[in-house]
Amino acid sequence: MDRLAGERAELARTLAGIDSIQSALDFQVALANSIRAAESLPERDEAKFHNNILRRMGDAFATQLLGAHTVREFARDRGRPPHLTGQGADFEFVLDTASSIATAGAVPIIADLTTLLSVGDIIAMRSDLLLLIECKNRVPPKPHTPRGRLWRQMRRRDNATTYLRDDQVVEEGGTRRIAIDADMLEPRNDLLIRECILASELSDTGLACRQMTDNDFIVAIWNHDWNQGAAMASLSNAMHEMRGDTWRYPLIGGGSEFMRSSSPWHLNPFSLDIDIKYQIALAEGDLMLWRFADISPIVGPVPDCCNAAIRCDVTPDGALQLKLTIDNDDHSISHRFLDEIGLGFMPVRAIRDAIHQLCGSMVRDVEAVTTQPDTEPVHERSESRTTSAGPSAVRGRPIVSAIAYKSPAGDNRSPVLVVDLEQLMRLGYQVPVDELRSLYEQLDNSRDWAIPLTLAFTADQSRFDLSNRQDLWMKIF
């Protein structure tokens, strides 16, 4: 095993063993160090391969804590993962801030160690609070008026927090996005996936097939030179036994695709309940999982919804596209549902039931869900504006947005968090405005001016504590 492969295996074991806030921080620090070390390798393809796998570990960590719906919202407008080494001291400040958050008793999730998260530098979680933090490796400016890139970051952050808090948001241009709850009554069958992988390892051909339900199969195949011919012959026989030529709407997914393209709805090997050696084999391409399914159970009338039905169109290139028809009016259904089958390995029946729930909600509230106020119907929108499904993992928690700066009191102090007081008041915190005004008037031109923006308060008591001037830096945790 080469050095990088050994690092990947060790980090996968560390991820699986996370059982505390400190171990969560230690895992991410080790992940960051390995990514930065690989960025300096002369072999760029090797570094890219290594870091892609490491960031999938970061994705698995984030999704486990936040849930797929929340991660999807924080993944909007994401680009390529950043080059950590190029960030220099700025990324060190992110790590320092994450360490302070962990010391304060919350779990930090560092966005740049994932392929998915694009809102905030750190997402800090505890049972009763979610904090989105942008990190700026400098002291707070005076006056604190966000401009340029920081303003755009805050705008994206505020849209995300509004959507997750209120289940809807009106975006620039008047487009309204609404979240609708849909219960996933049947989870992904990790036990069957594990059984299929074990059977493939014991097979002479390196291939095994397991059936989920009627016309719904999983295939595991080891990618070894010695078994290619026999495996392909075995796969051909398995497909013949599936009677795929009789399926109405065959969907084939998997292979290496879920490692080439990241999505909260795609299978992540490091989120599967399987042995770590199989997680590594899947991530590195030594083992592949394929999905063969007929999605025709999804097609047909929507239960308890008059004049509503789901149909499946086949595009000229053979791709499948689901449509909802209500009173002869067509509405596109997001392709993410088919991705959850082909690349997420969710049962067809579970996705059918979830779509039926969503379509039922649309039919019962067509005006609220399918139109902007007085303007366009939803089927004229781009897919990025379509309704998304699933309850928010942060529902019921206050969501606070903040900016972390270096402490004006000195380099050895913990980072300070600048927060909008109006935001806190909207969340129900009791802000002692008169005391703050009096305190601010007492300040001279020293660097203590940041105190009014970085106040101490306790989240459980929803109040500020101004009793100790030494502790006036904001303490959310």
Greater model confidence, 52 or 397: 52
What's the token pair of residue 109? 């999730």
Local structure of residue 413 (DSSP, 8 states): S
- % of the chain beyond a pLDDT of 90: 36
d(CA 111, CA 254): 26
Do the beta carbons of residue 28 and residue 110 sit within 8 Å?
A: yes
Name the token pair of 356.
Answer: 């039926």
Q: Name residue 412's amino acid.
A: N
Angle at CA of residue 92, ends 90 and 124, nearest 5°: 95
pLDDT for 457-468, tens place per residue?
A: 444 444 444 443
Q: Average pLDDT for residues 43-56, to the nearest whole number?
A: 91
Predicted pLDDT of residue 431:
67
Kindly tell me if the per-residue pLDDT of 57 is higher than 70: yes
Task: Please report the pLDDT score of residue 371 as a whole number.
Answer: 40
* Residue 90 predicted with pLDDT over 90: yes
Residue 115, pLDDT score? 93
Mean pLDDT of 55-60: 95
Q: What is this structure's pTM?
A: 0.80
- Distances in Å between the alpha carbon of 52 and those of 55, 260, 301? 5, 9, 42
Of 406, 256, 438, 416, nearest in space to 343 by CA: 256
Tens of pLDDT, residue by residue over 113-141, are 999 998 889 999 877 778 889 898 988 76
| pLDDT given for residue 448 in this prediction | 41
Nearest of 318, 315, 358, 305 to residue 336 by alpha carbon: 358
What is the C-alpha R_g of the chain? 25
Tokens encoding 468: 């100790």
Phi/psi at 168 (nearest 5 deg)? -165, 155
| CB of 111 closer than 8 Å to CB of 87 | no
Task: Find out whether 327 and 317 touch, Cβ atoms under 8 Å.
Answer: no
The position carrying tokens 């999704």 is 63
- Residue 467 has phi, psi (to 5 degrees) of -75, -20
pLDDT at 96: 92
Q: Which of 85-99, 405-419, 456-470 has the highest mean pLDDT?
A: 85-99
CB 128 within 8 A of CB 397: yes
Predicted local confidence at residue 433, as pLDDT: 66
pLDDT tens for residues 142-172?
Answer: 655 555 666 566 666 666 666 666 666 666 6
